[in-house]
Chain A
Amino acid sequence: MTAAAEDTADAGVRVVSPSVGLAETPAVGVHPTFALVEAARNRAVVGFGDGSLRALPLTPETTGYAGLAAVDGVPLVAARDLDGGLLIGTDGAGLVALRGEALAPVAAAEGWINALAVHPGAGLRAFAADRRVTVLDGTGQARLTTGEHDSTVAGLAFSPDGAWIAAAHYGGVLVWATDDPRAAPVRLDWHGSHTVVSWSPDGRFIVTAMQDKEMHAWRWQDRKSLRMSGYPSKIRALSWTADGRYLAASGADTVTSWDCSGQGPMGRAPLEFGYVYNGTVRQVAAHPERLLVAGGYSDGTILIGRIEQETAVIARPSSGAPVVALDWSPDGRRLVGVDEAGAAAVMHLRDAALA
């Protein structure tokens, strides 16, 4: 039996590529802010600009959202929490946790929570509200509250060992020790507004995306810095392959993946796949195990590409609305994407896609 024949056997699944089955829900006319897979509940949770949190079953028959709960305000950012639920930062209602269908307050915050990070291994959660970063342990106890950064903190990332938390702001990145509240932060300065920060899984690089449509990277060992420029639009997402070799970025008309092995990306051109006519890449998400990256485009197209072969398959055809979030299930078998109109796609990968 061919892979395509298998696909048609699943009710509700559209065949857009022999290796990927697609289940879609119609647009709900509200702007999503995040989409995260909760594997234990076999669902994805999507946050919306009207405050609602809705569940999307990860079954091939997915046809629509189920209402879960609502936050007071906009759920700006979210991350998978230590115990399997979700941690959600809001624009005025602080930090809350979603457990099943119940919302519980975790921490109050002065101002908007613009960034979140969770480190399961170290049992730490961090959030940035206005100019300060707070690191909490699993019980919600504050381990660290930083002083004010020079500007609003726009991005957060833990080091792979959880010993440090990097905070992106205007002017660079401050890296704080998570176990010493009195220690001065390590300053990584670079002129301009840093909006996203990411730490490589091997711990070697801290990389930011900037308002200036470029990326900046520091080698943690010696603080040597380099820039990656030439992007035609804003870089909204950075994502590392599990082995830490490639860093995928949005912002170009193709999905760009930088080889960070050895001396790093200096002097190397990124690998590219997935040119979509009149589209730019808005979101990227690297596969949790393999050298695959999902790219979400400004026209709603979602592609899954092989980094080293520079080839891709269409996982979801254009919907007309930009993709705002992408997330993989931990086993890498399912991919969830949502677009600006609130339409969702659940993509089921066949063995062929993972071969």
Chain B
Amino acid sequence: MSEKKVPATILTGYLGAGKTTLLNRILSEQHGKKYAVIVNEFGEEGIDNELVVDADEEIFEMNNGCICCTVRGDLIRIISTLMKRADDFDGLIIETTGLADPAPVVQTFFVDEDVQQKVDLDAVVTVVDARHFLDAVDDAHELAEQVAFADTILLNKTDLVDADTLAAVRRRIASLNRFAKVMETVHSAAPLDQVLHKRAFDLSRILEIEPGLLTEEDDHEHDANIISVSLTTDRPLEPQKFSEWIRGFIMERGVDVLRTKGILNLFGQDNRYVFQGVHMVMDSAWGAPWAETRRSSKLVFIGRNLDQAELDASFQACTVAA
């Protein structure tokens, strides 16, 4: 029996964006690999795989007093059963409905211990239809959330739009989520090594938050409901102060904070402290030792109605007084 955990990819995007096309590419191009596929709706396009399980989107709130802490009960059952089969799967792909909120799916991997013991969430991959995105995004909060949650975005059907539209779509995606990798595609033809095995939720890889993006100027539009915020400081953080602030903030604003990632330089510690979160569900660990002489803390949020200046002031207030 293999003790290696199976990587799981969550595939989101509006109906017609090209999710199933991407799914079939993964299934046909990864020769000799064995995938289990969980779908929520059978689209017009068939799925070419031996094992396709139809899920029933049962969203369960947890009883921990946090209204945004939801899991997918059907996924817990299905994944637990799939992992009991003799088959050694190379991967698990979960295709959500076009209107799905990705949070319950993602949180299932953080909250349920049976799922956690067998499966590692690899990444959230969102397929965006370049033609319809700008028209739809203002009216459909699900669409904005799917982009905000993404680690990888396929900006698809780029052959059907002109250069100006494409640039506008890219700007809008960046305003929602500055940290995801965006790939322009036609017929969802992305290099699969850019889609699979990203280990985007692996705490030991949070180091690889794209450093360039963290120091970019905040030139994005602020009209968007969902924005990305990045905070950084070279002064060490006072552990107690930081802990109190981040707990309080997440308790109060967790409903609005979709994703959080951080690499922290805590005062008196030789190792990085890394953490990530989805709404109020947090996961943290000690990371690799600091090798650099210049240590710097980085914290990113993607969420609704976030105030960069206010967050930065609170964050800077957690540093050890100079």
Interface residues of A (CB under 8 A from B): 27, 29-31, 33, 48-50, 74, 76, 91, 112, 114, 130, 151-152, 154, 170, 191-193, 210-212, 214, 233-234, 321, 340-342
Contacts and interface: CB of A to CB of B under 8 A. Distances in A.
B193 to A, nearest CB: 31
B62 A152 contact: no
B84 interface: yes
A41 B61 CA distance: 45
Given A74-B85, A130-B56, A212-B62, A341 B1 contact: yes
B1 A112 contact: no
Interface in B72-87: 73-74, 76-77, 81, 83-86
Contact of B62 (A29, A74, A211, A342): A211
Nearest to B71: A211
A340 B73 CA distance: 22
Interface of B: 1, 56, 58, 60-64, 71, 73-74, 76-77, 81, 83-86, 112-114
B145 to A, nearest CB: 23
Contact of B60 (A27, A33, A192, A342): A192
Contact of B73 (A29, A30, A151, A212): A151
11 contacts: A74-B81, A112-B77, A151-B58, A151-B73, A152-B77, A154-B77, A211-B62, A211-B76, A212-B64, A214-B63, A340-B1
Contacts of A212: 62-64
Contact of B81 (A76, A233, A234, A321): A76
A154 B63 CA distance: 17
- Closest 9 CB pairs between A and B? A49-B84, A50-B86, A212-B63, A192-B63, A31-B84, A193-B60, A49-B85, A29-B1, A30-B86
A280 to B, nearest CB: 9
A49 B86 contact: yes
A152 B60 contact: no
A170 B71 CA distance: 12
Given A152-B58, A214-B63, A234-B113, A193 B81 contact: no
Contacts of B76: 211
A206 to B, nearest CB: 18
B249 to A, nearest CB: 24
A170 B56 contact: no
Contacts of A31: 1, 83-86
Contact of A27 (B1, B58, B83): B1
B63 A210 contact: yes
Given A130-B56, A151-B73, A33 B84 contact: yes
A112 B63 CA distance: 26
A27 B113 CA distance: 23
A324 B73 CA distance: 20
A110 B217 CA distance: 56
A154 to B, nearest CB: 8
B60 A170 contact: yes
Contact of B61 (A74, A130, A192, A233): A192
Given A49-B85, A114-B77, A211 B60 contact: yes
A82 B125 CA distance: 50
Contacts of A211: 60, 62, 71, 73, 76, 112
Nearest to B74: A152
Contacts of B58: 151-152, 170
A47 B60 CA distance: 29
Select the residue from B56, B71, B81, B84 with max chain A CB neighbours within 10 A. Answer: B84
Contacts of B83: 31
B113 A50 contact: no
A233 B113 contact: yes
B126 to A, nearest CB: 27
